[in-house]
Amino acid sequence: MAASDLLVGITDPFLRQTIQIHFPYSLLNITPICATTEALVFAITAVSVWLTVAFTFDRFVAICCEKLKTRYCTEKTAAVIIGAVIVLGCLENVPQWFKYESANEFDNLTWDCSVKSTYYTSSAWVAYRVMHRVLNPCIPFFLILLLNVLTVRRIVAASRVRRGLRGRSNGENYKDPEMENRRKSVVLLFSITGTFILLWAAQAIFYIFTGIAKLRVDYTPTGIYYITRVTSTFLQLLSTCTNTCIYVLTQSKFRAELIHAVKFPVSAIRSLVRS
C-alpha cells in the first residue's frame, strides 16, 4: 500500500503535472504517451484507494473474525489480494486511455492530450464516469467507515470483558500485553483510514456536487471551479504521502525493509566494483 501511494506521488505531481506542463516539448507530451500517463495515474490511484480498503478489511478480520483469521491473514492471501487489486484497478481504468485525442500536430507527430467531446455527451462515457466515481472513492468511503465502526465496536466490547476478567483474577490493574497490541492496531488503523477519509473528502464532495449541479468548467485562476479543483486534488495527493509516513513512524519492520531497499543498490554496485 505504501508502494502504491509512493507511485501516485511520483506519477501524478511529477510526470503528469510538472513535466507535461513545464516542459511542453518533452516526449511525455506526445499524445499516445500523454494518454498512457493519464491512464496510469488513474490506475495507480484506484489501486492505492482499494489497497486501503483491503488493509481495513484485513484488520477487521484479524480483530473480529477469529475463525477466519487463521485462513485469511496469511502472506499467500495478502499476495493474492494485492495482485487482484492491481489487475482490477488497471483493467477498470483502461478506458481512460481512449478518452483523449491530440490537441496539436507538429513534425508529423500528435502532441498533448485533449479530452474528446464525446466524453461529455456519449451515454456510454457518462455511464463509465458514474461507475468510476462510485468505485473510486464512494464505495471505499462506505466500506472503510462500516468496517471501522464494526472493528471499534468489537474492540470496545472485548476490552471491557478482558479488563473485567483480569481485574477479578488479579485484583489490580497493570499493563496487559494483549490490550497494548490492540491499542497499537487501532492507532495504525485509524491513522491510515482516518487520513484517507479526511483528505479524500474534498475530492469526493467536489465531484458529487459538480456532477449534480452540472457546472460548466471554468479554468480561469480566479474561478471557484478551478480553485476548488486544485485544492481538492492537492489534498487527495497529500493523502498518498501519509501512509508511507505512518508506516515509517509506527512499524519497525517496515523501517527495516525500507532501509534495506535504500542500501541494496549501493551494495550491488559495491559488489560489482569488487568483482
- Cβ atoms of residues 217 and 229 within 8 Å: no
pLDDT category at 71 given cuts 50, 70, 90 is confident
Q: What is the pLDDT of residue 213?
A: 54
H or E stretch at 112: strand 109-115
Q: Does the model's pTM come out above 0.75? A: yes
pLDDT category at 96 given cuts 50, 70, 90 is very high
Residue at grid coordinates 515509517: 248
> What are the two backbone dihedrals, phi and then psi, of residue 226, each rounded to the nearest 5 degrees?
-65, -45
Q: What is the pLDDT of residue 270?
A: 84
Between 239 and 83, residue with greater pLDDT: 83
Cis omega (within 30 of 0) on the bond before 32?
no
Query: Which range is most confident: 54-68, 226-240, 256-270?
Result: 54-68
Span 110-165, pLDDT tens digits: 888 888 888 888 899 989 988 888 888 788 888 888 888 888 888 777 777 766 66
3-state secondary structure of 122: coil
- Cβ atoms of residues 114 and 101 within 8 Å: yes
Residues paired with 106 in a beta bridge: 109
| Mean pLDDT within 66-80 | 86
| Mean pLDDT within 54-73 | 84
pLDDT above 60 (res 67): yes
**Average model confidence (pLDDT) for the chain?**
78
Handedness of CA 171, 173, 176, 181 (dihedral sign): positive
- Alpha-carbon gap, residue 156 to 265, rounded angstroms: 46
pLDDT above 90 (res 238): no
| Mean pLDDT within 193-221 | 66
- Cβ atoms of residues 133 and 211 within 8 Å: yes
In angstroms, how far apart are the furthest CA atoms of the chain? 84
Handedness of CA 138, 143, 144, 148 (dihedral sign): positive
Between 52 and 94, residue with greater pLDDT: 94
Domains plus CATH for the chain? Answer: 2-257 (1.20.1070.10)
